[in-house]
Structure formats: C-alpha cells, structure tokens
A = this chain, B = another copy of it.
Amino acid sequence: MSPAEPTRPVTVAVLGGGTVGTQVARLLNDSDTDLHIRMGTSLKLTKVAVRDLTKPRDIDASFLTDDAMAVATSGADIVVELIGGIEPAKSLILAAIAAGSSIVTANKALLASDGASLYAAAEAEGVDIFFEASVAGAIPLVRVLQESLAGDHITKVMGIVNGTTNYILTRMDEDGASFADALAEAQSLGYAEADPTADVEGHDAASKAAILAELAFHTHVTREDVYCEGITTISQVDIRAAKTMGCVIKLLAIAERKADDSGVIVRVHPTMVPKEHPLASVREAFNAIFVEAEAAGELMFYGRGAGGAPTASAVLGDVVVAARNRLTGSVGWGESADVQYPVLPISEALTCYYVNIDVIDRPGALASIAQAFSESGVSIQVVRQDGHGDRASLIVRTHRSTDGALQATVNRLRKLSTVKAVVGVMRVEGEAGA
C-alpha cells in the first residue's frame, strides 16, 4: 500500500474504558502524522464501551456507551478488548469475531484459559486475533515468537513477567527489606494491588507462562498445566544464601521443550539466577524474557511489563498491523497448536537445586548427606559448610537432574538423623554448563 493511494479509514471500537482503554482512545484520536502517513489512511475510533457512564473519564463523552455487546457487534474493522477476565470478555470477543471484526486483546487470563477456542473462531472467520499486550506489556514478544523465530526451533523461554514480584524481590535484595515491608512499599507505589494474591502467589505469571509456552511450542497450554509457586515464603535467609552463591532470586516463568522432544514443561517458581546472567540485572518493575533457540542462540527482550502507556503501545501496534491486514485483505500469522507436544509435569524438568541444611556437626554427617543425594541419582556440584557444632549448616548446589529426583532427595534428607532441618530449597537456572 503506497502513501499515494489513500484508502477508507479503518474503524476501531474499544471495549473497556480503564487506564489502558483511555490511553488507546487518546492515541487513536491523536493527530498522529507519522502513523497516518505510513498507514496511507486513518484509524477512526467509533465507540468505547464502559461499565459506568457516570464515572469521569478522559474520553470525549460522545464516544461512550454502556452497551458493550452493541459495540462488539457493531461491525467495526477492529474490536479492542480491554475489559479483562473471562466473562463477559469471551462472549464479546466471540460475538465480534462472528460479526467479522478483527480482535486485539490484552486479556491474559482469558487467553490462558480459552485461547484455543478464540484462535479457532478467528481462523474460521478469517479475521485476526492479536494479543501482544497480554504478555510483558510493551515488550513485542508475541510477534517475535510468531514471526521472527518462525524459521528456528525454540528450546526454552525464561521470563520475568510480573513487575510486582520483581519489584519486591529487588527491594529485598538491594535494601535487605523483608517480604512484608517490600510488599507494603510496592503497594504504596501502586506496583501492587490491595489484594496482591494474584501477583505474589504467581498466578499472574502462570497465565503468562501458558501463553508463552503456546507461542514458543505451538502447543495448547492452559493455566492449569502450569506448575506454580509464589514468593510469599522468600526470606532474607534465602536472599543471603543466593548472594553467597553469586546469585539473585527472581520469580521466573519457564517453558521448555525436552531435549528428546517428548513434551514441554511449564512452571513458575522463585529461582536463583547467577549474577552474570542477563536476567539477573533486570531490576524493579521491569520485565524481561530470555529465549534460547537452536540457531539464534540466546536472546533477551526487556521493557516495561505493565502500565497504561506501555500496554497501550502494544495494543496500538497490534491495531496498526490488523488495520493494514484489513486494507490488504490478508490475515496475520495466527496461532494454532499445530504441533501439540504433551505437557509434562514439573517432575520431568531438568534443573539444579540449591539446598540449605541445618546439620548436626558430627563425624559422618557429610557422608550421610552425600549418600542421600547419590541414592536419588543426584550429583553434587558444590558443598559448603558454614558454622560449627550446633549451628552448622551445609549449602549444597547440585548438578542438573530431574525435578522429581531432586524433590525425592530433599524428602530423603529430611528423614536423616544428622539433619536438623532443611531450611532452604530453591531451583537454580541460567548457569553455564551446570
């Protein structure tokens, strides 16, 4: 499409008038010269559906309506869904697809539970469904996984995909704050909600992990397939242990394909990451996704994972590509689980453990502990004793083994007479040659 051949305006309807919806409406109504020239046309905002018409908003009242279904089925070229949650968002999107509209959504919860049915509906209708904003905000990861790496084989994706928990962990690491104090600070800054459960228990990261896994491995993965541990039990004992080992603790969403192609494993848990690893230097509320691909090698994508403006930037990028497709009569890459690896449990994952053990310091203690590891087939990489007598502790880092074998080892350790307590267990990722 050449700038010399202007075409009809592309109509855009928005469902949801919250922070992101308001920003998207503003950007669409902006007299954005670059964009209009590049598009060879203009994007025309038609309506914004909101729940409460009486609430003051930064959107011209003439655009507002509280009839979301009427907006969804208005036949706009593009319907942008920014309501969030499963219903009514799902019914509205399906109705908009049936009306022939292309969809742009930021709804991670919906995609992680019902993505497959939405993708299939869009494909059947021949419309686009784009969702760049659903994972890692402004970081253009979805298009990268769908298109740029289309000729490569992704083996692993590891991401810091929740800004709230990364902010809390950064404060705990850099300021020595307790989890409770760091959470309170995150709440006072607006990084964490009054009820922080979805963030600190890892549920938000788990939804994003499901979407990332689907994109990376072309396999249907839902939230229920994702192993999930949050950060609520992380203490300064863990933070200090991580420092001793040259690591920082990050809440990672990890999706990986088994080397023998037998399946994929998707998990979210606190993870020790060596300070030299690119993910270790991702601080505060930033997000980053580290990708390993067979030919491309190691890649990382870094940026703001949340917030009105960054999310709106991702939404608008999708709107522009969808608009271009409307004008040229084509559709984008789409997402279909055309490979469909089995989704395996975390016990199949290969990882390393750090284990911190309070021991009774007597002859043979180390031998009995070393035997517990070897009986589970787990090889020790480093062992380090701190203190003596009543206050002796062993810090062990293992070589790579299955998570099931590592978990079995920890259970075995807990039964040993030489072990007073297993005071810390955490997975380690990102080590060179581990």
Contact = CB atoms under 8 A, between A and B. Distances in A.
A140 interface: yes
B297 A309 contact: yes
Contacts of A33: 339
A314 B296 contact: yes
B138 A317 contact: no
Nearest to A124: B2
Given A140-B144, A143-B143, A281-B281, A150 B299 contact: no
Contacts of A144: 140, 143-144
Contact of A138 (B276, B295, B320): B295
A31 interface: no
A296 B324 contact: no
Contacts of A27: 151, 295
A148 interface: yes
A246 interface: no
A149 interface: yes
A304 B298 contact: yes
Contact of A150 (B2, B298, B320): B320
A258 interface: no
Contact of A295 (B23, B293, B338): B23
Contacts of A153: 32, 34
Nearest to A341: B34
A338 B38 contact: yes
Interface stretch (A59-67, A191-199, A237-245, A328-336): A328-336
B152 A148 contact: no
Contacts of A88: none
Contacts of A338: 3, 37-38
B296 A309 contact: yes
B302 A299 contact: yes
Interface in A1-52: 2-3, 23, 27, 32-35, 37-38
A316 interface: yes
Contacts of A333: 324
Nearest to A320: B150
Nearest to A151: B316
A123 to B, nearest CB: 7
Given A35-B151, A316-B151, A296 B301 contact: no
A372 to B, nearest CB: 38
B297 A303 contact: yes
Interface in A327-385: 328-331, 333, 336, 338-339
Interface in A249-277: 276
B278 A302 contact: yes
A241 to B, nearest CB: 23
Contact of A309 (B295, B302, B309, B339): B295
Contact of A317 (B38, B132, B147, B319): B147
Contacts of A423: none
Contacts of A138: 293, 295-297, 299
A310 interface: yes
Contacts of A319: 151
Contact of A148 (B140, B295, B297): B140
- 10 cross-chain pairs, A with B, having the tightest CB-CB distances, nearest first: A151-B316, A140-B148, A138-B296, A295-B313, A330-B330, A296-B313, A300-B302, A299-B303, A150-B320, A295-B309
5 contacts: A38-B339, A143-B143, A150-B320, A294-B309, A300-B303
Interface of A: 2-3, 23, 27, 32-35, 37-38, 123, 132, 138-140, 143-144, 147-153, 218, 276, 278, 281-283, 288, 293-304, 307, 309-310, 312-321, 324-325, 328-331, 333, 336, 338-339
